Amino acid sequence: MFISVPGQSVYGASKAAVQMLTEGLYAEYQGTKLSVTVVIPGGVNTNIIENSGSAVNEKMEKIRKVIKLPSPQAAALKIVNGMESNKFRVFIGFDSKILNFANKIMPKLAIRLTTKVTSSVLFGNN
pLDDT tens per residue, range 81-113: 999 999 999 999 888 888 888 888 998 988 888
Reduced to 3 states (helix: H, G, I; strand: E, B; else coil), residue 41 is strand
* Higher pLDDT, residue 99 or 53: 99
pTM, to two decimals = 0.78
User: Domain residue spans in the chain?
Assistant: 9-119
pLDDT attached to residue 75 = 96
Judged on CB neighbours under 10 Å (0-12, 13-18, 19+), 114 is middle
pLDDT attached to residue 111 = 86
Question: Quick check: 10 pLDDT over 70?
Answer: yes
Question: Quick check: 56 pLDDT over 70?
Answer: no
pLDDT attached to residue 49 = 67
How many C-beta atoms lie closer than 10 Å to residue 38's C-beta?
A: 19
Q: How far apart are alpha carbons 94 and 14 in whole angstroms? A: 22
Percentage of the residues of the chain whose pLDDT score is greater than 70: 81
